[in-house]
Structure 1
Amino acid sequence: MLAAWRQNQAHYLAEGLGIAFFVLCAGLLTMLLEHPASAVHQALPGSAWLRRGLLGAAMALVLASIVYSPWGKRSGAHINPAVTLAFWQLGKIRTPDALWYGLAQVAGAIGAAQLLKLTLGEFYAHPAVRHTVTEPADLPMGDGIAFAAEFVISFLLMWVLLYSLHSQALKEKTGWLLAALLAVYILFETPLSGMSLNPARTLGTAVAAGQYESVWLYWVAPPAAMWLATILFRRFYRGQELACAVLAGCAPVPGSLYFQDSEEPPQYPDKQAAR
């Protein structure tokens, strides 16, 4: 782990900053659209669907900007422990790097939510914003509905991700496909579970709100769904081999964290990493 940190800490920093940027944008945009004092909210007071549509479109652009940024291309722009887990299961990221990715993602999400809380406390905590926590809908069997919804959207996202990365025609467009899917999810699925897909993002906002009742749900459903999608995809798909775990689409390059199935994953610590 220490050798991996010395060798690849820039990649981990990119992951932490990527999810921090995502959480910051989600918080700021939600306040802009939902806080009663916002001029945008006042202009669209009875249009919850339209406001969610605008949020979805904006967050789609945020996600695409992360995926196709130089730092996003460097780390792969996972910004999600469930995505990293799936690529680790595929053998496209080494175990020490996957662990550091997860830690960086959690730290980035918590740090960004705390920054919003410290700088925009009463606005971020307003009942219309609620620290942008993800929580089940207030319905009978709400936890079960939210779990099922998170499982389905996470499974579909990972399947689309893997299919597009395995396609010569689509792999360079993977980030945009995921961004479009995110926009649709925010519009239609948010009322069921808050639309998480991301355990780290959920934990970050939960820490800011001091609200942990349903966090377990978001740490089980998305990782389990993406894991299952990965296993089934490997079993049934017989197309082009996946080159790496970079969401923008890539081919392995010297010094990359990602490797081909035919390559032996490096062991840590090794002589090269220790220098």
Structure 2
Amino acid sequence: MSRILRDSALELLLTFWLMFGVTTIVRWVIGPSPVSRMIPQIQVELLIVGAAVGILIAGLILSPPGRITGGHMNPAISLAMWRFGVFPGAGVIPYIVAQLVGSVLGVVIARAVWGPVVAEAPVAFAVLQPAPGWSAVTLFVAETLSMAAIVLVVGVCLAVPRLAPFVPWIVGGAIGLAIAVLGTSTGGSVNPARQFGPAALSGQTRFLWVYLLAPMAGALLATWLRQAMQRRRSVLTHRLCGTHRDGSALSGVTR
């Protein structure tokens, strides 16, 4: 088996755990539970969900599989790393397919573990929907700009060896902030894989194309902006853990 296929299989596993974790968090914080009864305000619930998901993402990036694959768990990140020149083009499609399959499997197993409540409102397989009044265009712009901001920050940090080790927490914190701030408006997805499994299983696919394409557009926008700027440093690795494949610290040489 080639390295790309092995790494793609690990990306599937990572995205599986991400979506199993996300669905579990939504089930217990927003779905009927002692936690949701104690905290009836949706804004507070989203703050808790954002913090928990952010920690989960950072943990998966820093896990042994995450250190091997790069811990992308997000098609937009894989696309951005290819455009930054640190991830092989031949790996983009296998990674994306693995991430989408992992998304579906994670939600399926969460449904099997936690029961029918996962399929019922307000959990509804943890699917995201924009707030009433949000059009596809405004949702697309919000998701695009949110993803572009994240990719720009990640690109800057992965180009500076002393900042690279903070990337897992920067990514986790950024996603958590997006959930807490945008949860009641856009859902704060910024990840096609985050929405794919829940939408496929819930049947709520009206805005799915936006959630799939807007983060990809944001990734392309961010990489274009970085290339357009007179930057002095290039991105050194596609691994969000901020190290080379062998675990060694970044030193200014891409591996």
TM over 0.5: yes
CA distance in 2, matches of 1:162, 1:237: 14
Correspondence for 1:239 among 232, 238, 245: 232
Gaps of at least 5 residues in structure 1 are 255-259, 264-275
- Residue 80 (1) aligns with residue 74 (2): yes
8 Å Cα contact 2:179-2:189 kept in structure 1? no
1:81 offset after TM fit, Å? 0.8
Give the match for residue 18 of structure 2: 22
CA distance in 1, matches of 2:238, 2:126: 29
CA distance in 2, matches of 1:194, 1:80: 16
Q: Could you tell me which amino acid in structure 1 is paired with residue 78 of structure 2? A: T
1:56 offset after TM fit, Å? 0.9
Q: Could you tell me which amino acid in structure 2 is paired with residue 70 of structure 1? A: P
Q: How many residues align?
A: 250
8 Å Cα contact 1:110-1:205 kept in structure 2? yes
8 Å Cα contact 1:132-1:205 kept in structure 2? yes
Correspondence for 2:204 among 186, 189, 211: 211
Give a deviation string over 1:114-152, Cα, whole Å, max 9, x none: 22233434211221112111222111x432222121112
1:67-146 correspondence runs (5 A) = 67-139=61-133, 141-146=134-139
Correspondence for 2:145 among 143, 149, 152: 152
Structure 1 stretches of 4+ moved >4 Å: none
CA distance in 2, matches of 1:237, 1:42: 52
8 Å Cα contact 1:167-1:239 kept in structure 2? no
Q: Could you tell me which amino acid in structure 1 is paired with residue 111 of structure 2? A: K
Give the match for residue 257 of structure 1: none
8 Å Cα contact 2:4-2:94 kept in structure 1? no
8 Å Cα contact 2:100-2:197 kept in structure 1? yes
1:154 offset after TM fit, Å? 0.6
Q: Which has more radius of gyration?
A: 1
- Residue 42 (1) aligns with residue 37 (2): yes
CA distance in 1, matches of 2:78, 2:136: 25
CA distance in 2, matches of 1:101, 1:245: 13
Give the match for residue 177 of structure 2: 184
CA distance in 1, matches of 2:65, 2:218: 27
SS at match of 1:244: coil
CA distance in 2, matches of 1:191, 1:146: 12
1:70 offset after TM fit, Å? 1.1
Q: Could you tell me which amino acid in structure 2 is paired with residue 192 of structure 1? A: S
CA distance in 2, matches of 1:125, 1:81: 25
CA distance in 2, matches of 1:119, 1:233: 43
CA gap of 1:252–1:118, structure 2 versus 1, over 3 A, is closer
Q: TM-score, normalised by structure 2?
A: 0.91
CA distance in 2, matches of 1:248, 1:239: 22
SS at match of 1:191: coil
